[in-house]
C-alpha cells in the first residue's frame, strides 16, 4: 500500500461508527489498483461536504477514491450486516465490496458516510472479487444523481474512478470504483445481523446510534425505539411513494438494501419505467417479479416487519411480549396509511390539483390504468398533461397522440378539466407546479445503456458527461436536448437490467 495521502486541506473526517466496536465491522484497507483515473468528480457535493474540490479533482483524488491511498483521518472498515434476499434469510452478508472510509460532518452540521464501492475484497466477500465493473458504476452514478435532482432521498455519488484493471464478469470488462455518500449506510439487514445472533445488546447499541445520528427527535420519547420504528416506517412510506410517482423500480429490495435513514440505496438492476405497466420488472434476477413496480409498497412493508422483529425486545415493557407485538403491528399497519397519504398528495401535484377532493384518487388511478392498457410512456404522458394544463383543448393531441385508441383518454381529460374547474390557481401557476412534479428528463434505460457502451467499449466518456449534465435539471426544458426526453424506439427498448456483481 502507498503511504497516506496528504492534502493541504484534509478531508474533515469525524468517525463515529468505528466507536461502536469490532462486532459491528471489520477494519481493513482498500486494495490499491493499477492505474486510477478520475471519470467524474462531484465538485458541488465535495464542497457541500466541506472538502476542497480543487485538490481532490486531481490524480491525488483519483488515488484516494480508487482506494490506492488512504486519506488522513479515514478509518476504513467493512460493515457487518445480514439480510433477507428474495425472502430467504442470509445471516451474514456485509460489505463484500464496499469500504466505509469514514464520516464527515458537513458545514451544515450533517454527518455523512463516505463509502467506496468496488475497492477490493473484505472478510465479507464470500466468493466475490470485491470489485465493481465500470458499467454498473456509471449506472449508479447517473441514477443516484438523477434521483437527487428529482428531489428523492438517495445516496449521492461523489466520484467515479476507472481502476485501469479488468474484472471478470460474463467477459473481461473494465473495472471502476464509485464513492457514495449517505446520511447512514445502516440497513434493515444491520439490525437483522445482531438480532439473528440473539445479541440484544448490540441491537440496542445500534438503535441508540441510529437515533442519535438520524432521528434525534425521538430520543426524548417515552420509548425511543417505538418512536424510531414509527419514524422509519413513515420515511420509507414517503420514499416508496416518490419512487412510484417517478416510475422508478429499485429491482432488489432485499432487506440489506433498505436504508434505516430512509434513502434510496444500492442501485443495482434498478430502472425508470418507459411504457407503464403495474407489473413491470427489469431485473434479470427477479424471475418471480417479487420486486415488480406495483409490489414495491407491500415489499417495503414486509421489510419493515423484519425490522420491527429485531426491535421487539426493546419494545417490551416488563415481560409482556404480546403488548410489544401489538405495538409493532399497530405501527406497521400505519405504513399503508402513510404510503397512501404520500402517494395521493404526490399524484395531486402531478395532476395539478392543489385542492383535495375525495374522487382524486380514482382520477389518478384512472389515468395510470389508461397508460397501462396501451403501455404508454409514463414520463412523456405526465409531462404532456402538464402542457395541457395551460393550453386550449385543440392541443390535446400532445397527450392523446400517445394512445392508439384515444376515446378513453379523451373521456378522462374531460373529467380532469371538470375537476380543474374546482381549483383556484390560474392555469399558468398550475402548469408551473405540474412541471415541477413531472420531469422531462429521466435516466432512461436506453440512454444509460448507450453511455455505458461508449465508455466500456470505446473509452469514450463524453456521452456519460452529457447525459449526467442533462439529468441535473430534470424539470426544465433544455434547448437542443430533445433526444434525451424521448422514449426508446422499439429497437432501443431495454427489457432487462443486470446487477453486474
The set of catalytic residues is 256
- Residue with the CB atom nearest ligand AMP in the bound state: 128
Segment lying near ligand AMP (by CB under 6 A), choices 122-130, 191-199, 200-208, 269-277: 122-130
Give, as ranges, the residues between 227 and 286 that touch Mg ion (CB under 5 A): 257, 266
From the CB of 175, what's the least distance to ligand AMP, in Å?
A: 10
Q: With binding defined as CB under 6 A, does residue 125 bind ligand AMP?
A: yes
From the CB of 194, what's the least distance to Mg ion, in Å?
A: 18
Backbone φ, ψ for residue 259 (5° rounding): -75, 140
Q: Strands 111-117 and 156-168, how do they pair?
A: unpaired
Q: Are the C-beta atoms of 162 and 156 separated by less than 8 Å?
A: no
Q: Strands 37-41 and 156-168, how do they pair?
A: antiparallel
125 makes contact, choosing from ligand AMP, Mg ion, none, with CB < 5 to 8 Å by partner type, with: ligand AMP
129 makes contact, choosing from Mg ion, ligand AMP, none, with CB < 5 to 8 Å by partner type, with: ligand AMP
DSSP state of 287: T
- Sequence-distant (6+) residues with CB within 8 A of 148 are 154, 156
Q: CA-CA distances (angstroms) from residue 130 to 32, 38, 99, 168, 406?
A: 12, 20, 10, 11, 51
Q: With binding defined as CB under 6 A, does residue 266 bind ligand AMP?
A: yes
Binding marks (x or -) toward ligand AMP, 85..114, rule CB under 6 A? --------xxxxx-----------------
Q: With binding defined as CB under 6 A, does residue 501 bind ligand AMP?
A: yes
Q: CA-CA distances (angstroms) from residue 467 to 199, 403, 426?
A: 47, 28, 34
Q: CA-CA distances (angstroms) from residue 476 to 32, 143, 191, 480?
A: 41, 18, 41, 12
Segment lying near ligand AMP (by CB under 6 A), choices 252-260, 317-325, 331-339, 349-357: 252-260
Residue from the set 52, 129, 360, 396 that interacts with ligand AMP by CB under 6 A = 129
- Residue with the CB atom nearest Mg ion in the bound state: 266
From the CB of 31, what's the least distance to ligand AMP, in Å?
A: 12
Integer Cα distance of 434 and 349 in angstroms: 6
Which CB sits closer to ligand AMP, 472 or 501? 501
Which CB sits closer to ligand AMP, 59 or 289? 289
Integer Cα distance of 226 and 17 in angstroms: 22
Query: Positive or negative CA dihedral for 36, 39, 44, 48?
Result: negative
Which CB sits closer to ligand AMP, 135 or 346? 135
Q: Strands 111-117 and 98-105, how do they pair?
A: antiparallel
Q: Are the C-beta atoms of 374 and 405 separated by less than 8 Å?
A: yes
Specify which residues 179 forms β-bridges with. Answer: 116, 159
From the CB of 26, what's the least distance to ligand AMP, in Å?
A: 12
Give, as ranges, the residues between 443 and 472 that touch Mg ion (CB under 5 A): none
Q: With binding defined as CB under 6 A, does residue 286 bind ligand AMP?
A: no
Backbone φ, ψ for residue 214 (5° rounding): -115, -20
Which CB sits closer to ligand AMP, 193 or 339? 193
Which CB sits closer to Mg ion, 136 or 487? 136
Q: With binding defined as CB under 5 A, does residue 115 bind Mg ion?
A: no
Q: Strands 25-27 and 83-85, how do they pair?
A: unpaired
Residues that bind ligand AMP in the complex, under the rule CB under 6 A: 93-97, 124-125, 128-131, 252, 256-257, 266, 268, 499, 501
Amino acid at each position: 500500500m502507498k503511504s497516506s495521502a496528504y492534502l493541504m486541506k484534509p478531508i474533515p473526517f469525524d468517525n463515529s461508527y468505528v466507536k461502536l466496536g469490532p462486532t459491528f465491522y471489520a477494519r481493513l484497507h482498500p486494495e490499491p489498483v493499477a492505474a486510477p483515473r478520475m471519470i467524474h468528480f462531484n465538485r458541488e457535493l465535495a464542497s457541500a461536504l466541506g472538502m476542497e474540490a480543487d485538490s481532490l479533482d486531481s490524480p491525488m483524488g483519483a488515488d484516494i477514491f480508487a482506494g490506492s491511498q488512504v486519506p488522513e483521518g479515514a478509518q476504513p472498515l467493512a460493515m457487518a450486516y445480514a439480510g433477507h434476499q428474495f425472502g430467504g434469510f442470509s445471516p451474514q452478508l456485509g460489505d463484500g465490496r464496499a469500504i466505509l472510509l469514514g464520516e464527515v460532518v458537513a458545514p451544515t452540521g450533517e454527518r455523512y458516510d463516505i463509502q467506496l464501492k468496488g475497492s477490493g475484497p473484505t472478510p465479507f466477500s464470500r466468493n466475490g472479487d470485491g470489485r465493481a465493473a465500470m458499467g454498473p458504476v456509471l449506472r449508479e452514478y447517473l441514477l443516484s444523481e438523477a434521483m437527487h435532482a428529482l428531489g428523492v432521498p438517495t445516496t449521492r455519488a461523489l466520484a467515479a474512478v476507472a481502476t485501469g484493471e479488468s474484472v471478470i464478469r460474463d467477459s473481461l470488462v473494465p473495472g471502476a470504483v464509485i464513492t457514495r455518500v449517505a446520511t447512514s449506510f445502516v440497513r434493515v439487514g444491520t439490525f437483522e445481523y445482531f438480532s439473528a445472533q440473539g445479541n440484544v445488546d448490540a441491537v440496542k447499541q445500534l438503535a441508540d446510534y441510529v437515533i442519535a445520528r438520524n432521528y434525534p427527535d425521538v430520543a426524548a420519547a417515552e420509548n425511543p425505539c417505538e418512536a424510531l420504528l414509527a419514524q422509519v416506517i413513515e420515511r420509507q412510506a414517503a420514499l416508496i411513494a416518490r419512487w412510484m410517482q417517478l416510475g422508478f423500480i429499485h429491482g432488489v429490495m432485499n432487506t440489506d438494501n433498505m436504508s434505516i435513514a430512509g434513502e434510496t440505496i444500492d442501485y443495482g438492476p434498478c430502472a425508470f419505467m418507459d411504457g407503464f405497466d403495474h407489473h413491470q420488472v427489469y431485473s434479470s434476477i427477479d424471475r418471480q417479479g417479487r420486486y415488480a413496480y406495483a409490489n414495491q409498497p407491500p415489499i417495503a412493508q414486509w421489510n419493515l416487519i423484519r425490522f420491527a422483529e429485531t426491535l421487539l425486545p426493546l419494545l417490551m415493557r416488563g415481560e409482556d411480549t404480546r403488548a410489544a407485538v401489538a405495538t409493532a403491528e399497530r405501527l406497521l399497519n400505519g405504513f399503508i396509511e402513510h404510503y397512501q397519504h404520500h402517494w395521493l398528495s404526490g399524484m395531486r401535484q402531478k395532476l395539478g390539483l392543489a385542492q383535495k377532493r375525495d374522487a382524486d384518487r380514482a382520477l389518478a388511478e384512472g389515468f395510470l390504468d389508461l397508460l397501462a392498457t396501451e403501455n404508454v410512456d409514463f414520463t412523456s404522458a405526465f409531462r404532456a398533461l402538464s402542457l395541457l394544463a395551460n393550453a386550449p383543448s385543440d392541443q390535446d393531441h400532445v397527450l392523446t397522440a400517445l394512445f392508439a385508441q384515444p376515446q378513453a383518454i379523451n373521456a378522462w381529460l374531460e373529467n380532469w378539466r371538470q375537476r380543474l374547474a374546482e381549483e383556484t390557481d390560474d392555469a399558468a401557476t398550475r402548469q408551473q407546479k405540474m412541471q415541477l412534479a413531472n420531469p422531462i428528463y429521466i435516466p432512461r434505460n436506453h440512454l444509460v445503456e448507450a453511455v455505458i457502451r461508449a465508455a466500456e467499449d470505446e473509452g469514450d466518456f463524453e456521452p456519460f458527461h452529457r447525459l449526467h449534465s442533462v439529468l441535473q435539471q430534470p424539470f426544465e426544458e433544455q434547448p437542443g436536448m430533445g433526444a434525451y426526453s424521448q422514449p426508446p424506439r422499439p429497437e432501443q427498448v431495454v427489457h432487462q437490467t443486470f446487477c453486474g456483481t
